[in-house]
Structure 1
Amino acid sequence: MHVPDGFLDAQTSVATAVVAAGGVALALRGARRELDDRTAPMAGLVATFVFAGQMMNFPVAGGTSGHLLGGALAAVLAGPWTAVLCLSVVLLVQGLLMSDGGITALGTNVVLMGLVGVGVGWLGFRLARAVLPRRLGSVAPAAAFGAFLSVPVAALAFTALFAVGGTAPVPVGTVAAAMVGWHLLIGIGEALITGLVVGSVVAVRPDLVYGARDVLASSDLEIRPGVAA
């Protein structure tokens, strides 16, 4: 989903950069409430995992690319505000060192993957948790649902930006069909990966999973390293 330089006009790129800067500023404040001796190391691991996952790109349409987003995974493991920072750092490094997405499109990519991807992924996770039984076994499927939901919504957000300020000679309908169609498939893969990763961590160290803290707080079971609730 990395948007390349010049794919959106200057006005749209500047507008998304402003929104991205505001979102990162809010995330810096919010992450102070999330980061502790458990989530800080997890945030580093999450950023590394997302970086590796996003390096597997394939073309979608008009110069754009598709890949795993990792927003829901980062939000569930490290917290939504911390996840925004993780995704933003990953996108910055990719843009600076690998020209993946471009510098002028950095704000656009942060909005799509760091704000929309994380926000929708976390919202989907919370909605699923509200429906599923209140137990540790529900954390992984809820994370998978949030991951699936985040991908096509981010694709739709990109399509909306392209409709406003797209510069490539590609019809909006073609872009929408390609982006949403491909990203529905990507969403299935992302849901599987997110569910497996979150489920594996919950099984071994549920205390390291930010999205499981409320379950642990309401449980009388003692959580020890290597012992699942």
Structure 2
Amino acid sequence: MHIPDGLIAPQVYLGAYAVAAPAWAYAVRKVAREFDDALIPRLAVLTALAFVLTTVMVPLPGGTSGHLVGVGLLALAFGVWPAFLAYSLVLVLQSLLLGAGGITVLAINALAMGLTGAAVTVGVFRLLAKVHRPAAAVIGVWLGVVVAATLVALVLGIQPLMGSDTEGQPLFFPFGPAVTLPVVVGPHLIIALGEGILTWMVLSVVERRRVPA
């Protein structure tokens, strides 16, 4: 569901960087303070797995792509802030190595998928885990992906309001929310379900190896 470079107005992506910068700084301090030499390699391994999960991308109409996200696994295994930091690295590598997403829109993608997606996943999981942990993980990941996709769709959808040329044509992404919401969110309703099931399967192995969840 990455937003690529060139579709977003500068005032939007610069604003996103202004929000993301202190969030990244906080995440770095939190990981440095709470992670020991044993936990950091485990985070690295699951970050690499999240990267692999995102490498198979299905192009979608409207300038985005659909694929497994992977941030839910990181969030359930390590918490929101480590997941946000690790997934931001995944986004950088995707942009530089695979051409997915972009540098100008890195903060938008990171805030939507890395921070919001992780926070929703963990929040739902904690709410439902006492009832049924597998269902809590699946539902948490599903909702985290869907909410992230919705944010991406809305950011794209407001771009026609951000500026137009002398003929009234949008300077940036040309379609509004009536197009972006069904096009972006619709496919991820299905993608997220598969990711939720896969996440619980991997998380079960992680828990047996005593990685914090």
Q: Normalised by the shorter chain, which TM-score bucket?
A: 0.7 to 0.9
Q: What do residues 49-103 of structure 1 show as CA deviations (whole Å, max 9, x unaligned)? A: 0110111111122111111111121011122221111101111112123221011
> Does the 8 A contact of 2:67 with 2:191 survive in 1?
yes
Query: Are 1:184 and 2:189 matched, yes or no?
Result: yes
Cα deviation code 1:93-139 (max 9, x no counterpart): 1212322101111111111111111111111211122x426xxxx3x
Q: Is the 8 A contact 1:11 1:165 kept in 2?
A: no
Cα 1:141/1:45, change in 2 over 3 Å: farther
Identity of aligned residues (%): 36
Structure 2: how far apart are the matches of 1:181 and 1:34? 38
Matches within 5 A, 1:205-224: 205=209, 207-208=210-211, 210-211=212-213
- Aligned counterparts of 1:119 and 1:2: Cα–Cα separation in 2: 19
Question: What CA distance in whole angstroms lies between the structure 1 residues aligned with 2:99 and 2:47?
Answer: 18
Query: Which residue does 2:20 correspond to in 1?
Result: 20
Higher mean C-alpha deviation, range 54-63 or range 28-37: 28-37
Partner of 2:135: 141
Paired position in structure 1 for 2:44? 44
Work out whether 1:125 is the aligned partner of 2:125: yes
Cα distance, 1:32 vs. partner? 3.2
Residue pair 1:72, 1:150 contacting (<8 A) in 2 also: yes
- Taking structure 2 as the reference length, the TM-score comes to 0.88
Q: Which residue number corresponds to residue 214 of structure 1?
A: none
**After superposition, what is the alpha-carbon deviation per residue over 1:119-178, rounded to whole angstroms, capped at 9, x for unaligned?**
11111211122x426xxxx3x432222111101100111122123335222232111011
> Where does the alignment leave 5 or more consecutive residues of structure 2 unmatched?
161-171
- 2 CA distance for matches of 1:70 and 1:18? 25
Kept in 2, the 8 Å contact 1:35–1:82? The answer is: no
Deviations 1:168-212 (A, max 9, x none): 22232111011111111111011011011011222x32x21x22x
For 1:144, what is the secondary structure of its paired residue?
helix
Q: 1:141 to 1:38 in 2, by over 3 A?
A: farther
In structure 2, the residue corresponding to 1:101 is in which secondary structure?
coil
Match of 1:65 in 2: 65
8 Å CA contact retained: 2:17, 2:108: yes
Contact 2:88 2:114 in 1 (8 A): yes
Cα separation, 2, equivalents of 1:116 and 1:165: 21
Q: What is the RMSD computed on CA atoms of the aligned residues?
A: 1.6
- Contact 2:80–2:115, Cα closer than 8 Å, also in 1: no
1:162 aligned partner: 156
Match of 1:194 in 2: 199
